Amino acid sequence: MLRFLKYFRGLEWLFIVLLIALNVGQAILDLTLPEYMGNLVDLVLAKAGTSEVVIEGLIMLSIALGSIVLLIVSDFIASVLAARYTRRMRALVYDKVQSMSQATMNNFTTASLITRSTNDITQVGNALSMGFKVAIYAPIIAIFAFLKIIDKSSSLSLATGVSIIALVLLIVVVFGFAVPKFKKIQKLTDKVNGINRENLMGLRVVRAYNAENYQKDKFEETNQNLRRENTIVGRLMSGLNPIMNLIMNGLSLAIVWIGAYLINDGALDIPTMTEFTMYAMQVVMGFLLLSIIFILVPRATVSLKRIYEVLDAKESIFDGKGIELSKINAQNDSDSSINAVNAIDSNKNVEAVSEKIPIVEFRNVCFKYPDAEESVLNNISFSCYTGQTIAFIGSTGSGKSTLINLIPRFYDATSGQVLINGIDVKDYKLSELHAMLGYVPQKGILFKGTVRENVDFGDNKISDEQIEWALKVAQSYDFVSKMGGLDAEISQNGSNLSGGQKQRLSIARALANKPPICIFDDSFSALDYKTDKKLRASLKKEMKDSTKFIVAQRIGTIKDADLIVVLDSGEIVGMGRHEDLIKNCQVYIEIANSQLSKEEINGTIKK
């Protein structure tokens, strides 16, 4: 719990000091009231004048009002501090999640991350808001009130001490049962959020399979478990108040009963007993206030641990030292890579090409997912040059997507090297690396907003003309125009668009900044053959200076690629052009047989 202090900044520490002073001041004022009450009773018993009684009463009223003012100000400051703290924690968790590598992200579920950044931080905020107000005031009241009465009567002090011990034992027993429940409640909250998210994301599938009742039963089971645990904790906590009130009222009764005997024996007078009673109530009230902290702190502690698990998550991917991009640009401007492509296309001297620096090169790359026993990729090696189109094909699970995910460093190679412009990708700053890439994932991801905001995504500040150019290249301009142009609204997750439209807008987003490297991770799958052909032709013409990596399942999408890499079980089993692979790569031939007619295959071979 002490770790949270380091997240306070600047003037907040001044506010904390001020809050401590206000609480101490309030406690001092409240501790003086019993003495004035004793004096007031003494004046009444002595039949003093009305003016003396009124003056004493006004003094007490002024002290009470002063205490109220200090309470209001301290409550306000505590609320502001708690709100600022929770805002900062949310920002830290958000930033941490944004910077997480895919490997680190896999250690958490999406639902759990949402719960940790909302519900858990709220629990901490509630504890801080109440804790700031009570943690200082309650102990001062309880300790100093007890010191005030301890020398007035040993019998009454003993009764008060017994009540305090009973309160402490009650709190210890209750929270011994409650803390494990708090941990379980937060995990069940994760699960409820997870089921909700699954249901909302897959609503069409749920309805298509008439699985509403199945999903409802699954949700109801988890929801009932959460209700049950909350009910148990609620009953435990609700049982505190009546028992504490019983202890407090029992103490009042004991003080009156014992005090009556002491007054009868002349060992105590009525003003002293009145003063003692008020102090005793303050002692018990101090412990009652502390019990509020004991209710909030255990749950906040569980939540803090869950937040720290996110903040302390170890990263497997770190920023490189950074590369001077001007040197890379100067190297690219020499046209050596373009000449290399021309040499390949015209079947000129291949040795001359090999002397050029590839824009992307894989050197003996192997990759294994964390905690996995077997490697997903083994000894992957190939090179490609500016303007080339490199395609990857293979059966499901052969490692195609994993391979291209090593370029933007969503994962890092277990061994070997991935180089861009002859420099290991690990040496680039991630911002530098990603600035060179246009990436289209398997599933078209769109965000709520306009077409313009989705295509000009990030801090690129692309002109409308360039956005329209990207839409035309991605074969999206026509349907976007019918929607209302660049200001047309896109619903969350692009729910007002078809699968093909989402893919084309995602492609437009990748092209808009004209990156030197474009990665298409099976992002033509939702397109019909006609649109697919148009898009590839447009890419070849408009993005001729960009290197394009295409993962595809259809041979028709990749047959015109400059280099096709055939993968099987994480290994390269064939590499070359379509015309070569259709003759000598068995895996590629099997894929071709499953997709192309004999006439198409024979026609290809004849060519």
**Minimum mean pLDDT among 70-74, 98-102, 354-358, 491-495: which range?**
354-358
Q: Read off the DSSP letter of residue 411.
A: S
Which pTM was predicted? 0.74
Q: Residue 341 has what pLDDT?
A: 37
Gap between the terminal Cα atoms of the chain: 73
User: What would the DSSP string read from start to end of 509-562?
Assistant: HHHTT--SEEEEESTTTTS-HHHHHHHHHHHHHHTTTSEEEEE-S-HHHHTT-S
Q: Residue 340 has what pLDDT?
A: 37
Q: What is the mean pLDDT of the chain?
A: 83
pLDDT of residue 330 exceeding 80, the answer is no
Q: Residue 123 has what pLDDT?
A: 87
Q: State how far the Cα of 604 lies from the Cα of 209, in Å rounded to an integer.
A: 43
Q: Report the Cα 288 to chain-centroid distance in Å.
A: 36
Residue 215 β-bridge partners: none
pLDDT of residue 352 exceeding 50, the answer is no
- Domain ranges (residues) in the chain: 7-311, 325-436+515-575, 445-513
Please say whether the beta carbons of 571 and 394 come within 8 A: no
Please say whether the beta carbons of 511 and 474 come within 8 A: yes
Q: State how far the Cα of 250 lies from the Cα of 140, in Å rounded to an integer.
A: 23
Q: Which amino acid is at 282?
A: Q
For 485: left if phi > 0, alpha if psi spans -120 to 50, otherwise beta; the answer is left
Q: Residue 407 has what pLDDT?
A: 93
Q: What b/e string do you get for 314-333 counting C-beta neighbours within 10 Å, with b at 16 or more?
A: eeebebbeebeeeebeeebe
**Minimum mean pLDDT among 22-31, 86-95, 164-173, 597-606: which range?**
597-606
The Cα diameter of the chain in Å comes to 125
Q: How many CB atoms lie within 10 A of CB 167?
A: 24
Q: Which amino acid is at 109?
A: T
Q: State how far the Cα of 515 lies from the Cα of 386, in Å rounded to an integer.
A: 11
Q: Which strand (E) or helix (H) includes residue 280?
A: helix 270-311
Q: Computed over its alpha carbons, how large is the radius of gyration of the chain? A: 36
Please say whether the beta carbons of 291 and 237 come within 8 A: no
Share of residues in the chain with pLDDT > 90 (%): 22
Superfamily of domain 325-436+515-575: P-loop containing nucleotide triphosphate hydrolases (3.40.50.300)
Mean pLDDT of 513-535: 88
Residues 6+ apart with CB under 8 A from 155: 258, 262
Q: State how far the Cα of 116 lies from the Cα of 218, in Å rounded to an integer.
A: 22
Do the first three CATH levels of 7-311 and 445-513 match, i.e. the same topology?
Answer: no
Q: State how far the Cα of 122 lies from the Cα of 90, in Å rounded to an integer.
A: 10
Mean pLDDT of 304-326: 79
Per residue in 430-468, pLDDT (tens digit) is 888 988 999 998 888 888 889 999 999 877 678 899 999
Q: How does strand 517-521 pair with strand 547-551?
A: parallel
Q: How many CB atoms lie within 10 A of CB 290?
A: 21
What is 7-311's CATH topology? ABC transporter transmembrane region fold (1.20.1560)
pLDDT of residue 169 exceeding 70, the answer is yes
Q: How does strand 423-424 pair with strand 563-568?
A: unpaired
Please say whether the beta carbons of 166 and 247 come within 8 A: yes
Give backbone dihedrals phi and psi of 463, rounded to 5 degrees, phi first. -70, 160
Q: Residue 605 has what pLDDT?
A: 53
| Burial label, 577 (beta-carbon count in 10 A; 0-12, 13-18, 19+) | middle
Mean pLDDT of 300-319: 85
What is 445-513's CATH topology? Rossmann fold (3.40.50)
Q: How many CB atoms lie within 10 A of CB 478?
A: 10
Q: Residue 354 has what pLDDT?
A: 41
Residues 6+ apart with CB under 8 A from 51: none
Show the 3-state SS of 339-380: HHHHHHHCCCCHHHHHCCCCCEEEEEEEECCCCCCCCCEEEE
**What are the distances in angstroms from CA 367 to CA 228, 269, 319, 406, 502?**
45, 86, 19, 9, 31
Residues in the chain: 607
